[in-house]
Structures are given as structure tokens and as C-alpha cells.
Amino acid sequence: MKKIGCILYGIAFGIVLTKSEVISWFRIQNMFLFKEAHMYLIIGSAVAVGALSIQVIKKFKVKTLKGEEIRYSGKPFNKGFIIGGLIFGLGWAITGACPGPIFAQIGAGEYPAIFTLAGALTGAFVYHSVKEKLPR
């Protein structure tokens, strides 16, 4: 049951990403060139709704459907957030895709994105092979 839920949420997420063209290389270019506000408004309104929801969950101590306590936490900062973040940003501008949209581009039939995914998997593997030597 939980597995079906994960897939259904993925399908819904994929539909929204695709129909709002967040997965479009052209939209990402226009964002980084400040040519249109589309991406900024999407990200901004998504964060606003997300942040408001978290406040509601906190304030009313909302439980999960199963009645469990909702568990969430932030991530403790280290230098990798900046260095890795910059590296990811370069890749984002080149491919026009952050991780979710890579999968969406493939699903939408933009098959060259398979190369993006192959690169991303290789990149994750390389990271884990050298992570002990990287600054934190």
C-alpha cells in the first residue's frame, strides 16, 4: 500500500513538473538569464506553501494518517553545501535539469536525458569514492 502511495505521488509530481515546464532546458536558461520570472515564481510560491504547511503541522501537532508523530529535520551545514552546491549549479545550467526533472525529461521522451542520468549516477559514484578526501 505504501509502495503504491510512493508511485502515485511520483506520478503526480512528474505531471506537475512537466506541465509547468520546470523540466525544460529553455525555462532554466531563461531563469539564469533573468529573462522570465516563471521559475522564480514557481520556486517562491512552492516554498511559501511548504513553509506555511510546516507551520500548520507544528502549531496543530498534525499527525500522519496512521496517527504517528511527523518526523522531519534539517541538514547540518558543512562546506560541501557550498562547494557541492556550486558544482551542481553548473550541471543544472548545462543540462537544464535538476535531479527530479532528469527522470521527467526521460519520461517525456527527451531520450538524450538518459546521458544526463548516466552522468549523474557516475557522479554520485565518484563522489562516494572520493568523499573522505573532500573538504567539509
Partner 1 sequence: MSSIFGLWHWYIAGPLIGLFVPALLICLNKMLGISSSFEHICMLVLPEGKRSIFRFNMEENGWKILFVAGIMAGAFIASHFLSSTAPHFLPQKYYSAQGYGKLFIGGLLVGFGTRYANGCTSGHTIFGLSLLQSSSLKATLSFFAGGLIYTFFAYHF
* Residue 79 Cβ vs partner 1, minimum distance, rounded to whole Å: 9
* Residue 1 Cβ vs partner 1, minimum distance, rounded to whole Å: 10
> Within positions 1 to 30, which residues make up the interface with partner 1, using CB under 8 A?
2-3, 5-26, 28-29
Tally the residues of the chain: 136
Using CB under 8 A as the binding rule, whether residue 65 contacts partner 1 is answered as yes
- State the binding string over 30-49 for partner 1 (x if CB under 8 A, else -): -xxx---xx--xxxxxxxxx
CA gap 108, 23 in Å, rounded: 9
* Residue 59 Cβ vs partner 1, minimum distance, rounded to whole Å: 13
Residue 63, helix vs strand vs coil? strand
From candidates 59, 60, 129, 133, binder to partner 1 by CB under 8 A: 129
> Within positions 66 to 125, which residues make up the interface with partner 1, using CB under 8 A?
66, 68, 70-78, 80-100, 102-110, 112-113, 115-125
DSSP for 63-124? BPTTSPBP--------THHHHHHHHHHHHHHHHS--HHHHHHHHHTT-TTHHHHHHHHHHHH
From candidates 60, 61, 126, 133, binder to partner 1 by CB under 8 A: 126
Q: Which residue is listed with cell 526533472?
A: 101
According to DSSP, the residues that pair with 69 across neighbouring strands are 63
